[in-house]
Amino acid sequence: MPWPSRSTDSLRALLCSANPHKLAEMRQLLPALELELLAADYPPEDGATYLDNARIKARFGRRVGPPDVWMLADDSGIEVAALGGAPGVATARWAQGRHVERLLETLEGETDRSARYVCELVGLAPKGDEARGTGILAGSIAEEAAGDEGFGFDPVFVPTGESRTVAELGDAWKALHSHRALAARALRSALARFSTGSTTS
């Protein structure tokens, strides 16, 4: 089953996640896909890298999900200079649902507020062929939250070259410039070989 080669093509795929916000964002970023969530009890994301964790989810989805659809999984996090690059791959566990509050509390009094978002995105074809894309968005952490779009750290993350947070810049901006947008763009390039039928299922 080749990846769709034209904007009029569509392909069923499952996002290996329980996060509806992520699903909405991925639908914007990968409009060629008929994308739904794969409801499952996922194994622990205990990999050493974002790619490890994305593969854990995608390969689990490949094992338990329908055999004739693509599996898509990502892992992402924030790396903060003042925290030595933490929380990184432990972002979700570190934030404990208090993304903005925890980060602002931790950085209180810090002068170096530089940070970056990182995303690794993995696609697995029905036969298991893998493609991947990486996206990195550099920026800094604001002193206080602002904006009401996006999720996670978006209300305090100011991208390099911008004066507003991602939550203020909004979902239309994210669809072009976010770390997931950049990873999705890289993934689409990596999947070009599938559109030619050079890898089939």
Residue 86 domain-assigned (yes or no): yes
Compare 87 and 199 and report the one with higher pLDDT.
87
Catalytic residue among 9, 41, 46, 75: 75
CA-CA distance, 82 to 121, in Å (whole number)? 26
CA 198, chain centre distance (Å) = 27
Query: Given pLDDT bands bounded at 50, 70 and 90, which one contains residue 161?
Result: very high
Any idea which residue has 């509050």 for tokens? 101
Rounded to whole angstroms, the Cα distance separating 26 from 33 reads 9
pLDDT at 83: 97
6 within some domain:
no
Domain count, the chain: 1
Cβ neighbours of 120 (radius 10 Å):
26
- Domain membership flag for residue 2: no
* CATH, residue 178: 3.90.950.10
**Can you give the pLDDT at residue 11?**
80
Among residues 132, 32, 129, the alpha carbon closest in space to that of 73 is found at: 132
Give me the pLDDT at residue 8, please.
33
- Among residues 142, 157, 131, 184, which one has the least CA distance to residue 25? 184
Is 125 among the domain residues? yes
The parent domain of residue 24 ranges over 11-195
With cut-offs at 50, 70 and 90, classify the pLDDT of residue 32.
Answer: confident
DSSP class per residue in 139-188:
EEE-SS---SSS-TTGGGEEETT-SS-HHHH-HHHHHHHSHHHHHHHHHH
Lowest mean pLDDT among 53-57, 109-113, 154-158, 195-199: 195-199
**pLDDT tens, residue by residue, 115-130:** 999 999 999 999 889 9
200 belongs to a structural domain: no
Q: Is residue 5 in a domain?
A: no
Is 1 domain-assigned? no
30-34, 54-58, 71-75: segment of lowest average pLDDT: 30-34
Return mean pLDDT, the chain: 90
Catalytic residue at 74?
no
- Indicate if the alpha-carbon torsion angle 172, 177, 178, 183 is positive or negative: positive
Distance in angstroms (rounded) separating the CA atoms of residues 79 and 88: 5
Residue 94 domain-assigned?
A: yes
pLDDT at 20 over 70: yes
Q: Are 95 and 82 in contact (CB under 8 A)?
A: no
pLDDT at 19: 86
